[in-house]
Chain A
Amino acid sequence: MIKTAAVVGAGVSGMQAALSLADRGVKVFLIENTSSIGGIMARLDKTMPTLDCSICILSPFMLAVARNPMIEIMTLCDVVGAIKTEHGYNLEVLKRPRYVDLEKCTGCRDCMAKCPGKVIMPFEENFGRIKAIRFDFDQAIPAVPYIDKDACLYFSKGICGNCVKFCQKGAIDFEQQEETLNLEVGGVFLATGSRPYLPFDKTEYGYGRYKNVITAMELERLLSASGPTSGHVIRLNDKKEPKKIAFINCVGSRDLRTNRGYCSKVCCMYGIKEALLVKDHDPEARVTIFYIDIRASGKGYEEFYQRAKNSIRFIRGRPGELLELDNGDLLLRYEDTESQQPMEEVFDMVVLNSALVPSEGSEQLAKMFGIPLNEYGFFDAGGDPASPISTDNDKVFIIGACQGPNDITDCVSQSIGAVAKTYSIYGDVVERESKELPGTDKENPRVGVFVCHCGKNIGKYVNMDEIVEYAKTLPDVVYVEDSLFTCSESGQKSIKEKIQELDLNRVVVAACSPKTHENTFQEALVEAGLNPYMLEMANIRNQCTWVHSDCENESTEKSKDLIRMAVSKARLLDPLFEREVDVRQSCVVIGGGVSGMASAVELSRSGFEVSLIEREDHLGGKSYVTDPKYREIAKHLIDSVTSDENIRLYLSSQIVHVDGFVGNFDLTLDTPNGEVNANAGTFIIATGYDFADPSVDGYVIGGPVIAEEELVRMMDEERLAGKDFTFILCAGVRNKAHPECSRVCCISALRQIKRIQDTVPDANITVLYQDIRAYGYYEDIYRQVSENGARFIRYSPDSLPSIDANSKSVGVYDTTSSRTLKIGFDLCILERGAIPSRGTNELRQLFKASAAPTGFFAEAHLKLAPLDTAIDGVFIAGACQYPKTVEESLSQAISSAGRAGIIMGSGKYKVQPTTASIDEAKCVACGLCEKLCPYKALKMSEDGKHMEVIEVSCKGCGTCAAFCPSNAISMKGFTYQQEKEKIKALLRGVAK
Chain B
Amino acid sequence: MSFEPRIVAFLCNWCSYGAADMAGTSRIQYPPNVRVIRFMCSGRIDPNFVLEAFLRGADGVMMTGCHIGDCHYIDGNYKTANRYEFLKHYLDILGIGADRLQLEWCSAAEGLKFAQSVTAFTERIRALGPNPLKEGGK
- The answer to whether A976 touches B40, judged by C-beta atoms less than 8 angstroms apart, is no
Which listed residue, A51, A549, A870, touches B29 by the CB 8 Å rule? A549
Instruction: Assess whether B23 is interfacial by the CB under 8 Å rule.
Output: yes
Instruction: Assess whether A184 is interfacial by the CB under 8 Å rule.
Output: no
- The answer to whether A226 touches B22, judged by C-beta atoms less than 8 angstroms apart, is yes
Q: With A and B bound together, what is the CA distance between A935 and B73 in angstroms?
A: 9
Residues from chain A with Cβ under 8 Å of B58 in the complex: 986-987, 990
Select the stretch in A55-63, A751-759, A761-769, A880-888 that faces chain B.
A55-63
Instruction: Assess whether B8 is interfacial by the CB under 8 Å rule.
Output: yes
Best-surrounded residue of B20, B46, B115, B136 (most CB of chain A within 10 A): B46
Q: With A and B bound together, what is the CA distance between A895 and B46 in angstroms?
A: 40
Q: In the complex, what residue of chain A is closest to B53 when comparing beta carbons?
A: A983
Instruction: Assess whether A493 is interfacial by the CB under 8 Å rule.
Output: no
Residues from chain A with Cβ under 8 Å of B35 in the complex: 558, 561-562, 565, 986
Q: With A and B bound together, what is the CA distance between A548 and B28 in angstroms?
A: 9
Known: A138-B25, A554-B32. A991 touches B14 (CB 8 A): no
Q: With A and B bound together, what is the CA distance between A849 and B38 in angstroms?
A: 30
- The answer to whether B13 touches A548, judged by C-beta atoms less than 8 angstroms apart, is no
- The answer to whether A987 touches B109, judged by C-beta atoms less than 8 angstroms apart, is no
CB distance from A105 to the nearest CB of B (A): 13
Instruction: Assess whether B49 is interfacial by the CB under 8 Å rule.
Output: yes
CB distance from A807 to the nearest CB of B (A): 51
Instruction: Assess whether B100 is interfacial by the CB under 8 Å rule.
Output: no
- The answer to whether A961 touches B109, judged by C-beta atoms less than 8 angstroms apart, is no
Q: In the complex, what residue of chain B is closest to A569 when comparing beta carbons?
A: B37
Instruction: Assess whether A53 is interfacial by the CB under 8 Å rule.
Output: yes
CB distance from A26 to the nearest CB of B (A): 27
Q: With A and B bound together, what is the CA distance between A135 and B70 in angstroms?
A: 25
CB distance from B74 to the nearest CB of A (A): 4
Task: Bin chain B's interface residue count.
Answer: 35 or more
Residues from chain B with Cβ under 8 Å of A138 in the complex: 22, 25-26, 109
Q: With A and B bound together, what is the CA distance between A139 and B8 in angstroms?
A: 26
- The answer to whether B73 touches A959, judged by C-beta atoms less than 8 angstroms apart, is yes
- The answer to whether B32 touches A934, judged by C-beta atoms less than 8 angstroms apart, is no
Known: A565-B35, A983-B52, A991-B134. A959 touches B79 (CB 8 A): yes
Instruction: Assess whether B62 is interfacial by the CB under 8 Å rule.
Output: no
- The answer to whether A983 touches B47, judged by C-beta atoms less than 8 angstroms apart, is no
Residues from chain A with Cβ under 8 Å of B125 in the complex: none
Tell me the residues in window 65-79 of chain B with beta carbons closer than 8 Å to chain A beta carbons: 66-67, 69-70, 72-76, 79
CB distance from B76 to the nearest CB of A (A): 5
Q: With A and B bound together, what is the CA distance between A971 and B39 in angstroms?
A: 10
- The answer to whether B72 touches A225, judged by C-beta atoms less than 8 angstroms apart, is no
Which listed residue, A139, A225, A554, touches B110 by the CB 8 Å rule? A225
- The answer to whether B73 touches A934, judged by C-beta atoms less than 8 angstroms apart, is yes
Residues from chain B with Cβ under 8 Å of A56 in the complex: 14-15, 18, 66, 70, 107-109
Instruction: Assess whether A324 is interfacial by the CB under 8 Å rule.
Output: no
Q: With A and B bound together, what is the CA distance between A300 and B111 in angstroms?
A: 30
Instruction: Assess whether A957 is interfacial by the CB under 8 Å rule.
Output: yes
Tell me the residues in window 684-706 of chain A with beta carbons closer than 8 Å to chain B beta carbons: none
Instruction: Assess whether B94 is interfacial by the CB under 8 Å rule.
Output: no
- The answer to whether A932 touches B108, judged by C-beta atoms less than 8 angstroms apart, is no
Instruction: Assess whether A771 is interfacial by the CB under 8 Å rule.
Output: no
- The answer to whether B52 touches A991, judged by C-beta atoms less than 8 angstroms apart, is no
For A43-59 the 0/1 string (1 means CB < 8 A from B) is 00100001111011101
Q: With A and B bound together, what is the CA distance between A523 and B49 in angstroms?
A: 31
- The answer to whether A986 touches B8, judged by C-beta atoms less than 8 angstroms apart, is yes
- The answer to whether A515 touches B21, judged by C-beta atoms less than 8 angstroms apart, is yes
Residues from chain A with Cβ under 8 Å of B32 in the complex: 544, 547-548, 551, 554-555, 557-558
Q: With A and B bound together, what is the CA distance between A807 and B30 in angstroms?
A: 76
Q: In the complex, what residue of chain A is closest to B30 when comparing beta carbons?
A: A547
Which listed residue, A548, A562, A990, touches B56 by the CB 8 Å rule? A990
- The answer to whether A546 touches B24, judged by C-beta atoms less than 8 angstroms apart, is yes
Residues from chain A with Cβ under 8 Å of B25 in the complex: 107, 109, 138, 542, 546
Q: With A and B bound together, what is the CA distance between A289 and B6 in angstroms?
A: 49
Known: A52-B70, A60-B14, A554-B32. A987 touches B41 (CB 8 A): no
CB distance from A461 to the nearest CB of B (A): 11
Known: A549-B29, A984-B56. A932 touches B40 (CB 8 A): no
Q: With A and B bound together, what is the CA distance between A986 and B56 in angstroms?
A: 9
- The answer to whether B55 touches A542, judged by C-beta atoms less than 8 angstroms apart, is no
Tell me the residues in window 358-413 of chain A with beta carbons closer than 8 Å to chain B beta carbons: none
Instruction: Assess whether A469 is interfacial by the CB under 8 Å rule.
Output: no
CB distance from A391 to the nearest CB of B (A): 36
Which listed residue, B52, B53, B69, B79, touches A51 by the CB 8 Å rule? B69
Tell me the residues in window 942-992 of chain A with beta carbons closer than 8 Å to chain B beta carbons: 955-959, 961-963, 967, 971, 974, 976, 979-980, 982-984, 986-987, 990-992
CB distance from A541 to the nearest CB of B (A): 7
For A488-521 the 0/1 string (1 means CB < 8 A from B) is 0000000000000000000000000111100000
CB distance from A42 to the nearest CB of B (A): 10
Task: Bin chain A's interface residue count.
Answer: 35 or more
Tell me the residues in window 554-579 of chain A with beta carbons closer than 8 Å to chain B beta carbons: 554-555, 557-558, 561-562, 565
Which listed residue, B36, B41, B83, B136, touches A957 by the CB 8 Å rule? B41
Q: In the complex, what residue of chain B is closest to A51 when comparing beta carbons?
A: B69
Residues from chain A with Cβ under 8 Å of B8 in the complex: 983, 986-987
- The answer to whether B24 touches A224, judged by C-beta atoms less than 8 angstroms apart, is no
Q: With A and B bound together, what is the CA distance between A773 and B58 in angstroms?
A: 57
- The answer to whether B39 touches A958, judged by C-beta atoms less than 8 angstroms apart, is yes
Instruction: Assess whether B91 is interfacial by the CB under 8 Å rule.
Output: no
- The answer to whether A225 touches B56, judged by C-beta atoms less than 8 angstroms apart, is no
- The answer to whether B27 touches A546, judged by C-beta atoms less than 8 angstroms apart, is yes
Instruction: Assess whether B128 is interfacial by the CB under 8 Å rule.
Output: no
Instruction: Assess whether B96 is interfacial by the CB under 8 Å rule.
Output: no
- The answer to whether A959 touches B44, judged by C-beta atoms less than 8 angstroms apart, is yes
Q: With A and B bound together, what is the CA distance between A548 and B48 in angstroms?
A: 30
Residues from chain A with Cβ under 8 Å of B73 in the complex: 934-935, 955, 957, 959
Residues from chain A with Cβ under 8 Å of B135 in the complex: 992
CB distance from A926 to the nearest CB of B (A): 16
Which listed residue, A225, A516, A543, touches B36 by the CB 8 Å rule? A543
Q: In the complex, what residue of chain A is closest to B16 when comparing beta carbons?
A: A56
Instruction: Assess whether A914 is interfacial by the CB under 8 Å rule.
Output: yes
Residues from chain B with Cβ under 8 Å of A974 in the complex: 39-40, 44
Instruction: Assess whether A415 is interfacial by the CB under 8 Å rule.
Output: no
CB distance from A512 to the nearest CB of B (A): 8
Best-surrounded residue of A59, A515, A548, A958 (most CB of chain B within 10 A): A958
- The answer to whether B112 touches A230, judged by C-beta atoms less than 8 angstroms apart, is yes
Residues from chain A with Cβ under 8 Å of B36 in the complex: 539, 543
- The answer to whether B23 touches A547, judged by C-beta atoms less than 8 angstroms apart, is yes
Known: A555-B32, A957-B76. A541 touches B24 (CB 8 A): yes
Residues from chain B with Cβ under 8 Å of A984 in the complex: 52, 56
Residues from chain A with Cβ under 8 Å of B15 in the complex: 53, 56
Which listed residue, B13, B26, B29, B109, touches A55 by the CB 8 Å rule? B109
Q: With A and B bound together, what is the CA distance between A45 and B31 in angstroms?
A: 28
Instruction: Assess whether A241 is interfacial by the CB under 8 Å rule.
Output: no
Closest 7 CB pairs of A and B: A542-B24, A958-B44, A991-B57, A959-B43, A957-B73, A53-B107, A990-B57
- Beyond contacts A138-B22, A959-B73, A984-B52: 8 other A-B pairs, Cβ-Cβ < 8 A, are A56-B15, A138-B26, A957-B73, A958-B44, A959-B43, A961-B44, A991-B134, A992-B57
Which residues of B come within 8 Å of A, CB atoms?
6, 8, 13-15, 17-18, 20-32, 35-41, 43-49, 52-53, 55-58, 66-67, 69-70, 72-76, 79, 83, 107-113, 115, 131, 133-136
Which residues of A come within 8 Å of B, CB atoms?
45, 50-53, 55-57, 59-60, 107, 109, 113, 138-139, 224-226, 230-231, 513-516, 539, 541-544, 546-551, 554-555, 557-558, 561-562, 565, 870, 914, 932, 934-935, 955-959, 961-963, 967, 971, 974, 976, 979-980, 982-984, 986-987, 990-992
18 inter-chain pairs at a CB distance below 8 angstroms, sorted by A residue, are A53-B107, A53-B110, A55-B108, A56-B108, A59-B108, A60-B72, A139-B22, A224-B109, A225-B111, A514-B38, A565-B35, A955-B73, A957-B76, A958-B39, A962-B46, A971-B40, A982-B37, A987-B6
